[in-house]
Each structure stands twice: as structure tokens, then as C-alpha cells.
Amino acid sequence: MTTSIADKIQQFYDESSPLWERTWGEHMHHGYYGLNGQHKKDRRQAQIDLIEELLAWAGVNSAQTILDVGCGIGGSTLYLADKFAANAVGITLSPVQARRAGERATEQGIALQEWEHFDRPPTSPAVQFQVTDALATPFPDNYFDFIWSMESGEHMPDKQGFLQECYRLLKPQGTFLMATWCHRGTDNLAGPLTHSEQRHLNQLYQLYHLPYVISLAEYGDIAAEIGFTELSTADWSTQVAFFWQAVVQSALDPQVMAGILQAGSETIKGTVAIALMTTGFQRGLIRYGLLKGSK
């Protein structure tokens, strides 16, 4: 990634991750609230449900070697490693996140494994966490049979480069599964983004350190050009939009509000962006896109 974007993302997550964990737990992503988005549930259960629904949608029921791109504090990495008794690597730009992810593995009794042993067939869950740029990873070609990207694509300053790197790392017949923030499609009657919509996105970019987002259709086109096969896409905006209302509710807790103020300027800016995400979903500008592909 470009140094400025990478540094800003690192600082944001270094600052905000401890508060997020205290408030929400280990999963740093949307929740799943049913097909119509109206199934209210415990917020942490909704996040686990999203993982399971994504796996079911993509038809992933086994894996031996997993890459979790943008692993946060290890929520998905640990969950997937345990579920499939797999070797899983989580990568992040944040040293704070990588360190905490390793601690969480120990707390959960999941082995931390050195890289030189990673290509051995797993007999029990094992994980590793690295501070690594997703656009230029140190891993060999054709290595992972499952690559998981849960809400990290929006941070990538080179969308094609990101998908190309995932394609390089994926084993033949392996599965790539991505959930990412998108903007609405522009190849329809709604037409190009309006000035108001672009201004809305620009504000989000500044507050959440996003270089830019694209439409789900554009992701599909890029993946096809790179060579991904068995491509599928889906828009789950309705299913996940309630998440932002739950975030607002959690932020109103006095202890959480105090934590936000103590966490630093980047966390405060991120809190301001909650309203932009809420209204972005409401106006149909922000979309939640899924993409699955094979090799």
C-alpha cells in the first residue's frame, strides 16, 4: 500500500481496536440480521451468524490452509481455524491487532505455529498472525486453499492488485471469498454517482481512511479479467444494515463514550463516520457486496 494510507490505517486500528474489543468482542465486522434485515439478535451472535451465512452462501465446508486478509484481532482467523481444524494465517497492518490476536489464540487454546511448519497437513487448529501488506505478501504461489477477506477490500488502494495477489496465493480449485463495502451500481437507470453521493463518500474516505470504494459489478469484472472462475456475487445490504443502529446503541453507553474520548483522535473520527454509514445505507449509496471465485 502507499505509505500514507497504510500508516493511517495502522494508526486507526492501533488506537481503536482495544475499545472495540471491550465493547463488541473479537469480531470487527457487520452482523447478519436475516434475509429481510429485521431479525433482532445479540450483536455478537449476529457477527458469528454472518460468518456462517457467508460460508454457506459460498459452499465452503472444509479447508486445510486459510489466509484471513485483514484479520483484525483474529476473530475470523480463530473461528475458521477451529471450525475446520485448519492452519490459518491472519494478516493485518496493525501490530497492536497482530499481538492481541496471538494472545487471543493462547486464551482459546489454539496453537501458534511457526511458518516453517505451516505446510504440514493440520491435525488440529493452528494459527499465525503477521503484520503484512495484503498487496505484497511474502507467501508462495498456490499456497492457500481458502482465502477469506472480511471487510478489508475497502481499505485497498489498488483493487485490481489486491485481487491479483489473492489469485496468486490461491491453490487451483481453492476458494476466494470476499465481503466488502461498495457503492451503488452506476450501470443502471440511476446513472453515475451524483455530486451529493460523491461528497458523502469523500467524507467517509477521510474518516475511515478508505482510498476509494467501487461497485460490486466492478469487482466482478476485475475478478473475471484476472482469471477467477466460478464467480458469484450478491448484495447483502438489507441483511446487514441494522448493524449500524446497533453500533449507535453501543456508543451511547457512558463507559463506551468515555473510552472513545480516551482512545484518541482517530477513534473519535471513526465514531463521527457512524452517522455517514447509517445514512449511506438508508439512501442506497453504501452497499454490502459479496464475491466468490475459484482458480
Kindly report, residue by residue over 30-46, the tens digit of the pLDDT: 999 999 999 989 989 99
Query: With 60 as the cut, is the pLDDT of residue 258 above it?
Result: no
Query: With 60 as the cut, is the pLDDT of residue 244 above it?
Result: yes
Q: Residue 205, SS3?
A: helix
When mean pLDDT is compared across 4-8, 194-198, 288-292, the lowest value belongs to: 4-8
- Tell me the pTM: 0.93
Q: What pLDDT, on a 0 to 100 scale, did the predictor assign at position 18?
A: 86
Work out the pLDDT band at 25, boundaries 50, 70, 90.
Answer: confident
**177 to 54, 108, 206: CA distances (angstroms):** 8, 25, 27
Decide which of 257 and 231 is more confident: 231
Work out the pLDDT band at 255, boundaries 50, 70, 90.
Answer: low
Kindly report, residue by residue over 162-191, the tens digit of the pLDDT: 999 999 999 999 999 999 999 999 998 889
E-strand stretches of 134-284: 144-150, 170-183, 229-235
Work out the pLDDT band at 261, boundaries 50, 70, 90.
Answer: very low
3-state helix, strand, coil in the chain (%, to 5): 50, 20, 30
Look at the block and give the residue holding cell 483522535: 265
Q: Which grid cell sits at 92?
A: 493485518
Domains in the chain, please, with CATH? 3-294 (3.40.50.150)
Decide which of 254 and 46 is more confident: 46
Kindly state the average pLDDT of the residues 93-121. Answer: 89
Q: What pLDDT, on a 0 to 100 scale, did the predictor assign at position 183?
A: 98
Q: Which grid cell sits at 71?
A: 484479520
Decide which of 269 and 238 is more confident: 238
β-partners of residue 112 are 127
